[in-house]
Amino acid sequence: MALPNFGMKSQQPLVRWILLLMIHVALLTILFFPAISENAAMQWDAAEIYLPWKYFLTDQVRHGFLPLWNPYMSGGFPQHGDPGSWYELSYLFAMGKPYDLQSLLYEYLFHLIIAALGFGYFLRGFNTSWWLSSTLGIVYSLNGFFMGNAQHLGWVVGFAWLPWLLGLCLRILFISRTKQPFVSTSLFLGVVAHLQFVGGYLGVTALSLYCALGMWLVWLSKSAENRAKQQVLKQAAAFGISLLVFVLLSLPALLSFWDLQSLITRSSTLSLGDLQFGHWPWKALVTMCYVEADAALAHSLHADISLINVRWSFLLLLSVSVFVLVNGFIRLRRLTPSKVLNKKTLIALMLAVVCFFLAVGPETSLHGFLIPKLPLLKLFRFPALYRGMGLFLLLMVAAMILNGTEEKWVKRKGLLFVVLLLESVLGAYRDIPNTVLVPIPAHEVNSMLINLQNKENSTDKWSNQIPMALAVDQDSSMNALIPFMNQNQGIYLKQWATDGYNPYQLRSREMDTANEFDKDHLPIAALDEENRMIEKGVVRVEGIKENGQSIAFRGVHCSANTHSLLVKQTPSRHWKLMIEGREVPWKSFGQRGIQIPRCNSFELVYAPNYLSKLVLGSSALTWFLLLSLLIINRIAFFRRLSLKNH
């Protein structure tokens, strides 16, 4: 799993990649120092949706539970159906402590580094010079898309892994023409595909599939040699291994998503109006020319501030234009073919233009004509997503043009690289206060999150503090308990919130008598023989214990006329009711709760049959084998390097 280029030349010294990593870390430290020092924090969806979810997920795993069911949001919903619940890297940022604002920040910065290294690796595949690849890798990670959409962490993760995925696909295609082994590349591709699927926005995954398929078709149409049976079989074997690794690693997420897809609001074909929601307006193109993508510009364009920024490098745009004109003039005088404007460059440029036309959504007819006809892509809103692919392709075009320029006066590119980095850093510095960070005392919020994880409210112990069923997100007094984060507060407060962000349709068909069953604010209610709620029917509950896999009550004391109990959690066919060690049938009380027989103690176990020990064990074993192979591969590599130096 080394870092070679696709042209099969000798790989770059490892020290250069370490140097790139150090430069990028230093730049990010400077840019995000207010947040690193806990005097600022990421904002909007990042803090209000991603942070509570990751807080819950990591807390459950830390206490030894699978985070399958989230009882604290919208009456409870199947958390495992969201692929992000299975993103292994998120758990690394909460080792030994709750997932807080700093964890969120470092996960975001980590993926900016992944993006920079990945884009540099991708460009090296086209025999681009190392310095140019590295420079444009950093430019890619600091462009307006990554800064503007910082709150959409799934978008950032998806586009961070995109260059790795495409680069590895291209490498397999090149290897198929040689006698070099492809197994390590195939394994690595399977891992990257898994990480993008579970960590990123699914719309980016769908877009990546189209990109990979398009590259393969172009490769096959390029020459008869590329279509040779031996090569195609080798490619099939390589991609087959990648697919196997992807399936084994993603099996729990794939099964969960497939099981719950009918309940997810964004898993069905959208109307054209919904499909074009969240587009990028044409006039926002000015952000590419040093115009600040701030709230004033977003307001004037009647657009979301997160969806307008396309800053990448205006200086790079000017440089490329000059190089094209000069090179074209020289080639014309010499009557020789141009190495700058070749077929690959023109195709990439045209595709970039198409992406921007798609990004504007209803402002042109292309999006409405094309996207509703394409499988997978027609399931996702936010046409502005395509501007990220447009910027990716524009940087690729710039790299091809600059790398193909051979005149002596252009070869002095060192100063250009420094200026490009400086421009990107200054652009990111300007964008960060607009769409990434908000100046708040993050250290106070982080301390509060730690304090909320007290022993009395521990996930794995019985508590006599009964959670309330409240609309905590809409309650200003509740919002005051945890400043800055006003969505999904139930997770932090361990309240059974009746509201909050929920991607599922499980509570879409509310009963007319909903308020009747919520007015006592208890998580459990008493019903009479006619299924009417008994006011103060539940007199006392001695203890409750809830986690991502079960909910248990003990010492439930009810009034004499109580016939059955209602647990205010969304019904699901995966619930199993256990009373005195045996499974007992239960009834669905509309969409409002789970109706069970009257009893003193019981446990509701959420156990999807397909998430068996065999499925979970297969995924874990695959990770173990892959990491073992990586370690063995690296040991052998450094041994060869040591022998070579001696």
- At 226-255, the pLDDT tens digits run 888 899 999 999 999 999 999 999 999 999
Q: Reply yes or no on whether the pLDDT at 59 is more than 80.
A: yes
- Residue type, position 352, single letter: A
Q: What pLDDT band is residue 196 in, cutting at 50, 70 and 90?
A: very high
Mean pLDDT computed over 136-151: 97
Instruction: Tell me phi and psi for residue 70, to 5 degrees.
Output: -105, 105
Q: Reply yes or no on whether the pLDDT at 533 is more than 60.
A: yes
Residues 185 and 317 in one domain: yes
Strands 550-558, 538-546: pairing is antiparallel
Mean pLDDT computed over 586-604: 93
Q: With respect to residue 272, please indicate whether it lies within any of the assigned structural domains.
A: yes
Residue 543 has a pLDDT of: 94
Cα 629 → chain centroid: 26
pLDDT tens figures, 429-444: 999 999 999 999 999 9
Last residue of a domain, one of 414, 438, 462: 438
- 604 neighbors 552 (Cβ within 8 angstroms): yes
Residues 175 and 232 in one domain: yes
| C-alpha distances in Å from residue 130, one per residue of 20, 141, 468 | 10, 17, 58
Question: In terms of pLDDT, which residue wins out, 261 or 539?
Answer: 539
Residue 458 has a pLDDT of: 66
Residues 433 and 574 in one domain: no
- Residue type, position 295, single letter: A
The pTM for the full model equals 0.94
Mean pLDDT computed over 355-372: 96
Residues 595 and 617 in one domain: no
Residues 525 and 617 in one domain: no
Residue 211 has a pLDDT of: 96
Residues 183 and 200 in one domain: yes
Q: With respect to residue 634, please indicate whether it lies within any of the assigned structural domains.
A: yes
Q: With respect to residue 55, please indicate whether it lies within any of the assigned structural domains.
A: no
Residue 645: give the domain boundaries.
Answer: 612-646
Q: With respect to residue 597, please indicate whether it lies within any of the assigned structural domains.
A: yes
Q: With respect to residue 193, please indicate whether it lies within any of the assigned structural domains.
A: yes
Residues 323 and 411 in one domain: yes
Share of the chain above pLDDT 90, in %: 63
Q: With respect to residue 37, please indicate whether it lies within any of the assigned structural domains.
A: no
Residues 372 and 311 in one domain: yes
Residues 546 and 617 in one domain: no
Residues 206 and 263 in one domain: yes
Q: Of all helices (H) and strands (E), which one includes residue 576? A: strand 575-579
- Calpha distance 108→125 (Å, rounded): 26
Exposed/middle/buried for 294, CB within 10 Å: 0-12, 13-18, 19+?
middle
Dihedral angle computed from the Cα positions of residues 212, 218, 224 and 227, in that order, rounded to the nearest 10 degrees: 20
Concatenating the DSSP letter of every residue in 142-196 gives TSHHHHHTTT-HHHHHHHHHHHHHHHHHHHHHHHTTSS---HHHHHHHHHHHHHH
Q: How many domains does the chain have?
A: 3
- Calpha distance 390→396 (Å, rounded): 10
Mean pLDDT computed over 458-463: 78
- 550-558 sheet: strands from edge to edge: 538-546, 550-558, 602-606, 575-579, 582-584
Q: Reply yes or no on whether the pLDDT at 589 is more than 80.
A: yes
Residues 303 and 339 in one domain: yes
Residues 177 and 261 in one domain: yes
pLDDT tens figures, 103-138: 999 999 999 999 999 999 999 888 888 888 999 999
Task: Give the N- to C-terminal CA distance of the chain in Å, as an integer.
Answer: 24
Q: With respect to residue 155, please indicate whether it lies within any of the assigned structural domains.
A: yes
Q: With respect to residue 487, please indicate whether it lies within any of the assigned structural domains.
A: no
HSE-up (13 A, CA, CB side) for residue 275: 22
Q: Reply yes or no on whether the pLDDT at 35 is more than 60.
A: yes
